Structure 1
C-alpha cells in the first residue's frame, strides 16, 4: 500500500525554513523537529533565501510579500487577457457595423 503524499502550507514551510536561517538549527535538527526529510527542508530553505533576496518563485511563495506579489501578478495577467478579449470583440463589432452601413 502506498503512503499518501503529505502537503504543507506555505506558513509551515516558512516557519520550518526559518528554524535553519534565523534560529541556527542544522538541516538535520530542524528536519527532525518538524518531521520533514532533510532534502525537502533544504529546498524550502533555498526558496526562502531566494525570496528574501527579492526573487519571485515559480511555486507558491513562502513570504507574505512574495505571496502578495504573486497574487498581483496573477491579477494583472487576468486583466490583460480580459482586455485582449474586449479589444477583439470591439474590432469584430466595428467590422460588422462597417459592413452593414455600406
Structure 2
C-alpha cells in the first residue's frame, strides 16, 4: 500500500535539506522515505514554494481555474441542450 504524507510533513522534510543543509540521503533515512520521493518533493517545492503541496482535497490555483472553467462549459452545454428541446416542443405546438 502506498503511503501518503501531509503538506506539513513534506515541507518539514524539504526544509531539513534546504535550510538545515542536510543531505537528501540523510533526511530520507531519518524519515524513512525513498530518496527519490524526497528529491521529487524538493523539485516541486522549488517550482511552487508553499503552494507546491496543496494537501488533501485541495488543488493548485491554476488547476482550480481550469476545473471551474470546465464545469462552466458543461453547465452551458447542458443549458443549450435543454433550450433546444424546449424550442422543439414549442415549434410543434405552433403548427
Partner of 1:38: 35
Q: Structure 1, unaligned stretches of length 5 or more?
A: none
1:94 aligned to 2:91? no
Structure 1's 101 and 19: CA in aligned 2 closer, same or farther, altered over 3 A? farther
Structure 1's 63 and 6: CA in aligned 2 closer, same or farther, altered over 3 A? closer
- 1:54-82 Cα deviation digits (max 9, x unpaired): xx9xxxx5158x94513444333223322
1:62 aligned to 2:53? yes
In the TM superposition, structure 1's runs of 4+ consecutive aligned residues that sit over 6 Å from their partners are: none
Q: Structure 2, unaligned stretches of length 5 or more?
A: none
Structure 1's 14 and 80: CA in aligned 2 closer, same or farther, altered over 3 A? farther
- Counterpart among 77, 84, 88 of residue 77 in structure 2: 84
- 1:2-42 Cα deviation digits (max 9, x unpaired): xx332222332233223223332221122123221111111
Partner of 2:5: 8
Distance, in Å, in 1 between the alignment partners of 2:16 and 2:54 is 14
1:75 aligned to 2:62? no
Aligned length: 91
